[in-house]
Homo-oligomer: A and B are copies of this chain.
């Protein structure tokens, strides 16, 4: 042991888990002491992920809370929803700190969870204990706690794009429409016709219109910020690319704000927050400009003809939308510099 924080990753054979491994390689204060997969225990991780050859070679461990606790101080649970619901309480009981990347602890209301997720909610005690780790907004709440619920990929892009304007009262909450687009890695590594190359390539499709389980998560936060119940229209699309999310957000403005007004408002809101980059007036970001990095880039187009603003927000869904923000939350939780292990320049082209 070298004085580093010992981290375990449950769900190491998924895209979120393996990205945690990539990013944590350069984290100065963290050492991965266990990679865990219920389905592949005993198998060397580099067999399924040959890119890790010589970089990170380790046999996958099984999922047993006591054993994890003997090897680790903190656990990232990059598990499917439903699995975390059962596992996380055991990990917390065993005295571990937990950053949960599933959606299981993001909604405070268990009934709402069951309505959107279609399976039983975790015990309410844990729903109330979990701190929602949207780093740039709730960074202070995260400091010092033991259990963080990491935001979803769509909610991260959407909320960072909306919150300053909502908080300032510049836009009408009831007018919000979010047209979201995601690369295919967001669907995970499981196989199905939906991720078959020949079905996705040269294709663009919408799915789960107004039915995506990230909707109540977004609405919960927006309602908190707005001080009133906010209901949104939300469409998700699959883009023939691997990484990246763009949310194109539409809202009616309460006054004649210019693009520069929005730029100023957002830059002020995100002062001191290195991972949100507000673009100059007249410029909107593209997904590749944040690829492989923890940035969320935001740009604006206001329209005097219709009185609406169009907000474009992009992230790498596996980094800022999952593994990167989880590490950012760990940093905040531990009182470390927010940027530790996250100093990745976007990979371009």
Expressed in whole angstroms, the Cα–Cα distance for A15 and B196 within the complex equals 12
The reply to whether A189 and B196 form a contact with Cβ atoms under 8 Å apart is yes
Residues in chain B near residue A191, CB distance under 8 A: 191-193, 195-196
Contact A233 B306 (CB under 8 A): yes
The answer, among B25, B201, B246, B297, for a CB contact under 8 Å with A201, is B201
Closest to A292 in B: B347
Chain B proximity mask over A254-293: 1 for CB below 8 Å, otherwise 0: 0000000000000000000010010100011111111111
Residues in B whose Cβ lies below 8 Å from that of A197? 184, 195-197, 200-201, 240, 242
**Contacts A22-B348, A191-B192, A310-B210; A240 near B237 (Cβ below 8 A):** no
Interface size class of A (residues with CB under 8 A): 35 or more
Contact of A345 among B25, B241, B248 (CB under 8 A): B25
Kindly list 17 other residue pairs between chains A and B, CB separation below 8 angstroms, not including A51-B293, A53-B277, A233-B303: A18-B348, A21-B345, A22-B348, A26-B343, A50-B279, A51-B345, A54-B295, A55-B345, A179-B235, A184-B201, A191-B193, A196-B196, A201-B202, A201-B242, A204-B286, A233-B306, A235-B301
Interface, chain A (partner B; CB < 8 A) = 15, 18, 21-22, 25-26, 49-56, 177, 179, 181, 183-185, 189, 191-193, 195-206, 209-210, 231-233, 235, 237, 239-244, 246, 248, 250, 274, 277, 279, 283-293, 295, 297, 301, 303, 305-306, 308, 310, 312, 314, 343, 345-349
